[in-house]
Amino acid sequence: MRETFSLEMKQIVKQFGSVIANDHVDFNCKPGEVHALLGENGAGKSTIMCMLSGVYRPTSGEIYIHGEKVKIRSPKDATKLGVGMVFQNFRLVQTLTAAENIVLGEKSSFWRGPRWMKNKTEEIDSIAKRFGLAFPVDRPIWQLSVGEQQRVEIVKTLYRGAEFIILDEPTSVLTPGEADQLFLTLEQMKSEGKTVILTTHKMKEVMAAADRISVMRKGRMIHTIDKSDTNEKDLARLMVGSDIAPVEIQGRTRPRGELLLNVENLDVYAEHGRKALNNLNLKVYKGEIVGVAGVAGNGQSELAEVLNGLCTWKKGKITFNGVEIKTASVRGAIEAGISHVPENRMKSGLAGSLGVVDNLLFKSYRSEHRSKYGFLKIKSNREWSQRLVEQFDVKTPGIDAPVRQLSGGNQQKLLFAREIDRKPELMVAVHPTQGLDVGATAGVHRLLNGLRDEGKSVLLISEDLEEVMQLSDRILIIYNGCVVGEMRQEEANRERIGLYMAGIREKEEEAV
Amino acid sequence: MDLITQLLVAAISSGTPLLFATLGGILIERSGVMQLGAEGLMLMGAVIACTTYIHTGSLGWTLLAVLVVGGALGLIHSFLTVTLRANQVVSGLAMTLFGSGLSAYLGKSITGTPIPGSVPKIDLNFLDGIPIIGDMFAHLDILTWFSLILVILAHLFIHRTSWGLHLRAIGDNPATADVMGIPVQIFRYGYIIIGSMLIGLAGADLLLVYSPTWIEGMTAGRGWIAVALIIFARWNPLRALFCAYFFGAMDTIGFKIQLIGSAIPSYFLKMIPYIITILVLMYLGWRNRNKPSGSPEALGAPYIREQRF
Amino acid sequence: MSEQPAAGTVSLDKTASETRRRFSFRFEIDPARKESPWWMTIVSIVLALLACAIFIAANGKNPWLVYEKMFRGAFMSEFGITETLVKAIPLLLCGLGVAIAYRISVWNIGAEGQFVAGAIGATAVTVYLPEMPMSLTIPIMIVFAVVAGGIWGALTALPKVYFQVNELITSLMLNYVALLLLDYLVFDPWKDPKGFNFPGTPMFTDAQMLPVLGDTRLHLGLVFALVIVLIYWFTVKYTRWGYELRLIGANQDAARNAGINIKKHILIVMVISGAVAGIAGMSEVTGVTHRLMYGISPGYGYTAIIVAWIAKLNPFGLVISSVLFGGLIVGGYSVQTMGLPSSISSMIQGAILFFLIAGNMVSKFRLRRNG
């Protein structure tokens, strides 16, 4: 017997330029179910949901709601069709109250005296209570906690009569208690016949809340399955793809040296008082590549920032080369010999309008090779830049060409050239091959291996699990701001890493 | 009249131009666009008011001309900042420079010529005997009354109507407003034009009521003080009323203190409004260092649609 | 977190319904085109002149005659050229000050006040210090002007750095304060007792005046200005500090990653910016007016903003645009005999800036057919 689907998306393709974000994806939902879309970052789950909610338009493919074909061209169309989406970054006006945000855009009365607001507020309150979503209705949004703000967003969709509610990584901003509360809300929505779609990478929520689970990977829909027919291990395998050929491991040529970096019990707070790093412990030895795997948003950025002196820590101790680092200082980090390849090279790593020479000088312009008595050694700097460009095979129209004219791969090579030329003790590379083609990626990998072979160390923070497994001598998995698992290259396998990444701990591995 | 009453009366007469300018600026900035051309707009308003009044003798035409010119200048500013997404600071500065220059040019022929009449007053004779309140409100002109009504209207508009809600959304988070179906660009054009009209009216009020002959540069920085007042008033029309009157009083306090025969040279007393502006801004900056300042979040940033998600 | 569109172009993904309602074109903002083409400046100026011609005509004068007289007055006679250069000197110096600040995205609108502060500082030497030979007096006056202007610049930077006060307003307010201070000094304590109530100090002695070229009014200040331009050019291109400034201006985030202390640089830059404008004041007072007096600046500080903008912070562009605007001011004076106010030049300046901005933005757009 075939149940009718309330929602069907057939053969959806979404292309951005040459990047295929969704590759012939089929997705369907039944009324009154909680359907989880499981996958890592870049799997394509947010993209496909954006098409359902009208933010993107599909390159090809069809969407059917209750059997009728529909064209969703804008968020307004989506709302009319009963689709509401709660994004990870909320669409809320900070200075307005929750109630005001919810009624924003409503075309009804012009005059909104206190009585009108009172009616609306009661309406909103009743919806909120029905679904177990409590929040202060009359305070401006910036005063609400993140969890409360999310509830406002959910009520917003319900208030508009949404039948399909999409939640994009909802628990990434919630405490465990708030997450449980959310699951109760989902139950209530289910019982009222609504369809809830959850995108997530967290196994626990999937098993706790979902009725059916669809796993996506690298833009494709891998499998859709009922919860009762599967378990966490199977899902993890589907998510990271253990049916792929075993990863080529590039072994170490010499044993590792002494302890270089020791991070102990680190607590770091990000904006809004959110705890980004929670009692994090990390060790890096000389002559090794340590890979940090994990889904983005679990503290990786903050870890990289702390190590490079860009942000302070509330608690904990960091020791580098035997010396304790007491204060966060970028110059201090640079002088100590820490190199940084940031995740967004055009935003924080390079100055697009400046030329190649100027960009290469970033970290070393204070050294005596590059400047003397405050004057830049122009000629010798240019020669040095020329040498670097050739050595690292950076294709550029000239050493004065603005860096933004270079291709992504060459920009990254330039960054590496700069950072490696300094002969750093530790290189912190964050998503170093993001947006690079196969050739450029291989080049970066060669550079990282080269560093390791010289007895230096690399902390490789990357969402690309394959890359981490290929290069790292040791793999740490970060989840919710602390290191939840560690394994040596020989014992690493995708399943186990996938489980850790999804927040399922087996036994705490003792750091060797 | 004793000194306090004198100050209060002066606060109103001197503060009304500031009030108009601040209200106009609040509308513009609330929609998310910076308004730094106030000085030029005010000067243009003043010179147009003077010229039109002298040439037509009719107050009605005068006010109409001021509104039209103010609106036209506002249209230029909105075209540059909303459609072309130019740098709002530079556009405002250009407006100031252009307005200063153009007003000086246009005003040359009428410098020193007094206007042929005055703005009609509303005589509330029943208030005459009452101390302080009577002196303040008994014989105010219609423009001043208009400004007071405007304060109330603006406040009600922003906080009690759907359009006011949309205005607040546009200035704070235009992406969200856009997603909710609010036409951001159109509204911004509208608010900039209306706000510019009000600022032009401020200049007209300065000329017609406060100081009835045209002198080049007669606003003496009041436009800039209005820009600062928008911040003190935290973009709120009711607070703008008190801030404008406070500064109106500051403006004359120097003069009044001199009359009492103080030893402080008048020049330093004239500095008071400007220095106080800086000090108050510093105080606000220090006090709000951990909280949002109440400024429209999107202030200064042109809204470009593809920036959603 | 979301997938990125392919690197390279950022396009306005107008949804189909919008596109059908409006154009069938797409506007693309090309991020690679940061600078507008050089001819855009000239086009803007021409358009501005055309626009102002309308106003001039509306006032009953023939705009072409007016423009011709302005040009003649400014550039076609020996007197005109030297006068233009005389006006260009303070414009160049103040423009340098504005440009230095703008390099790191700080808006120094206070060049007017810093100019006045410098003039006051230099004059203080004549009032309070004993008579000295020129070789001592002039350098000391420069020092005083630099300090005074630098302090005025710092007064703008400190509230910004420590209290997040927008420097636009602060510098503006300080302009008015400086002018009032000037008024006080020339009407009261420093007033020339033999001056028949003229608001100014006594004339400077020979030792306190800058030497001039021949019998023109072109004074040594020109040398100061050109020297400072060279120093500016050299510093930005060849020194470590100049590199740091360029980096902050290009990408503040990246600059922070390179370990640069942005706050410290803001303070230093504003002090220098004010100091340079202060030197402008000093040279005007010692080279042209030979006394401190009321109305010492016809808005140099404000015109300097446009001068800096047109030149796009390029030091040699600054020289050209300051001469251009100096000519504009002189031209404005020369049409006074036609019954036009000299403020005609401010009007043209403002118009030029408008068209410059518009031109700047328009050149960033490219029209592409949809599809």
Q: Is C13 within 8 Å of chain B by CB?
A: yes
Tell me whether residues C6 and A41 touch, CB distance under 8 A.
Answer: no
Q: Helices (H) and strands (E) in chain A — how many of each?
A: 16, 22
* Burial classification of residue A507, based on how many CB atoms lie within 10 Å of its CB (0-12 exposed, 13-18 middle, 19 or more buried): exposed
Tens-place pLDDT, residues C71-80: 888 888 888 8
Angle at C195 between CA C191 and CA C197, to 5 degrees: 75
Query: In Å, how far are A106, A323, A461, A485 from A512, measured between CA atoms?
Result: 60, 21, 20, 12
Tell me whether residues B104 and C346 touch, CB distance under 8 A.
Answer: yes
CATH code for the part of the protein at C62-339: 1.10.3470
Mean pLDDT computed over A129-143: 83
pLDDT at C31 over 60: no
Tens-place pLDDT, residues B26-36: 999 999 898 88
Of C13, C15, C238, the CB nearest to A376: C238
Q: Is A115 within 8 Å of chain B by CB?
A: no
Mean pLDDT computed over A262-275: 81
Q: Which fold has domain B3-123+131-290?
A: ABC transporter involved in vitamin B12 uptake, BtuC (1.10.3470)
Confidence of residue B301 (pLDDT cuts 50, 70, 90): low
Return the C-alpha torsion angle A437, A442, A445, A447, nearest 10: -110
Strand order in the sheet with A323-325: A275-285, A259-269, A315-320, A323-325
* Residues of chain A with C-beta less than 8 angstroms from the C-beta of B181: 76, 105
pLDDT at C158 over 50: yes
Q: Which residues pair with A479 in a beta bridge?
A: A482
Touching chains, A (3+ CB pairs < 8 A): B, C
Nearest to B16 by CA among B204, B158, B197: B204
Question: For B240, left (φ over 0), alpha (ψ -120 to 50), or beta?
Answer: alpha
Tell me whether residues A46 and C1 touch, CB distance under 8 A.
Answer: yes
Q: What is the mean pLDDT of chain A?
A: 83
pTM passes above 0.90: no
Mean pLDDT computed over A209-238: 85
| Min Cα–Cα distance to chain B from A77, Å | 11
Tokens for B54, please give them: 């002298």
Tokens for C80, please give them: 């005109």
Tens-place pLDDT, residues A316-330: 889 898 888 888 888
Tell me whether residues A87 and B309 touch, CB distance under 8 A.
Answer: yes
What ipTM is given for this predicted complex?
Answer: 0.80
Predicted pLDDT at A290? 92
Domain ranges of chain C: 62-339
CB A215 within 8 A of CB A235: yes
Query: Scanning every residue of chain A, which has its alpha carbon at the shortest distance from the alpha carbon of B308?
Result: A55
Tell me whether residues B306 and C10 touch, CB distance under 8 A.
Answer: yes
pLDDT at B300 over 90: no
Domain ranges of chain B: 3-123+131-290
Mean pLDDT computed over A497-505: 75
Tens-place pLDDT, residues C237-281: 888 888 999 999 888 888 888 888 889 999 999 999 999 999 999
pLDDT at C13 over 70: no
Predicted pLDDT at B292? 54
Mean pLDDT computed over B294-309: 55
CB A298 within 8 A of CB A477: no
Query: Out of B172-181, B252-261, C50-59, which region has the weakest mean confidence (pLDDT)?
Result: B252-261
CA-CA-CA-CA torsion sign (C54, C60, C63, C64): positive
> In a mutagenesis test of the C interface, which of A77, A354, A403 is the best target, namely the one with the most C β-carbons within 10 Å?
A354
Provide CB contacts within 8 A for A387, sequence distance 6+: none
Which residue has 């100061």 as its token pair? C224
Predicted pLDDT at B202? 95
d(CA C141, CA C234): 25
Tell me whether residues B100 and C346 touch, CB distance under 8 A.
Answer: yes
CB A498 within 8 A of CB A236: yes
Which residue has 């009521």 as its token pair? B209
Predicted pLDDT at C365? 62
| Residues counted in chain B | 309
Tell me whether residues A374 and C4 touch, CB distance under 8 A.
Answer: no
Provide CB contacts within 8 A for A275, sequence distance 6+: A267, A268, A269, A481
d(CA B5, CA B11): 9
Mean pLDDT computed over A371-400: 85
Provide CB contacts within 8 A for B296, sequence distance 6+: A95, B29, B30, B31, B32, B168, B171, B172, B235
Domain A7-240 has CATH 3.40.50.300: yes
- The pair phi, psi for residue A260, each rounded to 5°, is -105, -50
Mean pLDDT computed over A18-28: 84
Report percent pLDDT > 90 for chain C. Answer: 25
| Min Cα–Cα distance to chain A from B168, Å | 8
* Residues of chain B with C-beta less than 8 angstroms from the C-beta of A199: none
| Min Cα–Cα distance to chain A from B185, Å | 15
Predicted pLDDT at C253? 86
Predicted pLDDT at A172? 73
Which residue has 């990786």 as its token pair? A300
Instruction: Tell me the CATH class for A268-501.
Output: alpha beta
Nearest to A341 by CA among A363, A321, A357: A363
Domain ranges of chain A: 7-240, 268-501
Query: Scanning every residue of chain B, which has its alpha carbon at the shortest distance from the alpha carbon of C155?
Result: B278
Tokens for C265, please give them: 């640089």
More confident residue, C25 or C363: C363
d(CA B234, CA B246): 15
Return the C-alpha torsion angle A302, A432, A463, A449, nearest 10: -110
Nearest to C173 by CA among A331, B295, A411, B275: B275
Spacing of C-alpha C177 from chain mean position = 19
Nearest to B21 by CA among B117, B147, B184, B177: B147
Tell me whether residues C3 and A19 touch, CB distance under 8 A.
Answer: yes
* Residues of chain C with C-beta less than 8 angstroms from the C-beta of A298: none
Q: Is A94 within 8 Å of chain B by CB?
A: yes
Nearest to B291 by CA among A302, A140, A174: A140
Predicted pLDDT at A233? 76
Mean pLDDT computed over A288-309: 86
Predicted pLDDT at C370? 40
Predicted pLDDT at B200? 95
| Min Cα–Cα distance to chain C from B135, Å | 32
Nearest to B207 by CA among B56, B63, B26: B63
d(CA C82, CA C78): 6
* Residues of chain C with C-beta less than 8 angstroms from the C-beta of B40: 350
* Residues of chain C with C-beta less than 8 angstroms from the C-beta of B38: none
Query: Out of A277-281, C172-176, C367-371, which region has the weakest mean confidence (pLDDT)?
Result: C367-371
- The pair phi, psi for residue A419, each rounded to 5°, is -75, -35
Provide CB contacts within 8 A for C300, sequence distance 6+: C90, C91, C94, C111, C112, C115, C280, C284
